[in-house]
Amino acid sequence: MAVRVVVVGSANTDMVAFAPKLPAPGETVLGTRFEMASGGKGANQAVACARLGAETWFVGRVGNDWFGDTLLRNLQGAGVNTEFVIHDAEAPSGVALIFVDAEGQNEIVVVAGANGRVRPSDVDAATDAFARANALLVQLEIPLETVGYALATAAQHGALVVLNPAPARPVPEEWFGLVDVWVPNEREAEGLTGIAVTDLESAERAAKALLDRGAKSVVITLGANGALLVTPEIIRHFPAFPVQAIDATAAGDAFAAALTVRLAEGAPLDEAVRFANAAGALACTKVGAQPSMPTRHEVENFLQSPPSP
Ligand code: RIB
């Protein structure tokens, strides 16, 4: 039977401009391609969970506009249950303006719109899903009050709680007692700890600083350097799978979703991180956020014969 995952978070329409390099402040660069795709860290992670085989609910808000309708259709098309998504008449759907350079690296500006109005009462409205869920996956593109409420609700129901603290924002200390697995990238780990994460040694120090504050386990995603898993018992580096990166947008979302699904299925942490590392690598090989979220079949095939360095 499929595991059940609730994702509470944002849904955005991504406007993506590809260019040989990212513009410096005040600079104009000539782009090579434009794409519009469904995105938003929450919706991306929900789509990834569903494609990876979990029964998935998305809890969030979209505007009463064409963008919102398209975002919902895309979630439904991926098999995500959207019965707890609210069409908000007071705010437009969220958008993200994304620049991607020739190496697939990106810069993102998000304008929250309806995502900024996801409330604790939206979590209450989804109580049925929380009561049945094996895991909650949440990020920081919605109000922190709602994130905290979702964490507490999932913990009360005994679900596994995974937090992808993205984008980087200061978080309340009491969250350390509620979250089972923290999944920041380098910049988010730095934002949480004040330790600049530039290599494995600094990543380990940042992860240990989070453990000192009460985190049970930490997985720092390191882009081209893979991921570092740190718990009180384990310190293990997982090098990135070598792939031809076209667009790294949402690679972290694929990673967080895959980690959550495998953990909810009962996999040990190190096995779940390897699976997540493969999902993140695959997401880099396609353009766009939700279009690049891999299926279970794709991840399992990839892991059967991973590319050699
Ligand atoms: O993580 C990638 C996502 O961040 C994009 O889809 C964009 O919408 C922003 O939320």
Give residue-wise pLDDT tens across range 70-110. 999 999 999 999 999 999 999 999 999 999 999 988 999 99
Q: For residue 158, how far is its CA from the centre of ligand 1 (angstroms)? A: 29
Cis peptide before 23, with omega less than 30 degrees from 0?
no
Please check whether residue 197 is in contact with residue 203, taking contact to mean a CB–CB distance below 8 angstroms: yes
Share of the chain above pLDDT 90, in %: 97
Question: Which residue's CA is minimally distant from atom 9 of ligand 1?
Answer: 40
How far apart, in whole angstroms, are the C-alpha atoms of residue 270 and residue 148?
27
* CA dist list (Å): 29 to 15, 36, 102: 16, 19, 13
Segment 159-167 mean pLDDT: 98
Among 98, 107, 164, 188, which residue has the most ligand 1 atoms within 8 Å of its CB, making it the best to mutate? 98
pTM of the predicted model over 0.95:
yes
Q: For residue 234, how far is its CA from the centre of ligand 1 (angstroms)? A: 30
pLDDT on residue 308: 77
Question: Which residue's CA is minimally distant from atom 8 of ligand 1?
Answer: 40
pLDDT on residue 144: 98
Q: For residue 122, how far is its CA from the centre of ligand 1 (angstroms)? A: 21
Is the torsion defined by CA of 36, 96, 145, 195 positive or negative?
positive
Burial class (CB in 10 A: 0-12, 13-18, 19+), 210: buried
Reading the block at residue 229, the tokens are 């898993």
Segment 299-309 mean pLDDT: 90
Question: Does the pLDDT at position 280 exceed 90?
Answer: yes
270 is catalytic: no
pLDDT on residue 1: 85
Q: For residue 198, how far is its CA from the centre of ligand 1 (angstroms)? A: 23
- Give the binding-site residues of ligand 1, using a 6 Å CB cut-off: 10, 12, 14, 39-41, 44, 96, 108, 110, 141, 249-250, 252-253, 289
H runs (alpha helix) in the chain:
41-51, 66-77, 120-125, 127-132, 144-156, 186-193, 200-212, 251-264, 269-283, 296-304
How far is residue 72 CA from its own chain's centroid? Answer: 18
Amino acid at position 236, single letter: R
Closest listed residue to residue 181, CA positions, set 80, 81, 258: 258
Residue 140 neighbours by CB distance under 10 Å: 23
Segment 28-39 mean pLDDT: 96
Task: Report the atom number in ligand 1 closest to the C-alpha of 94.
Answer: 8
Amino acid at position 41, single letter: K
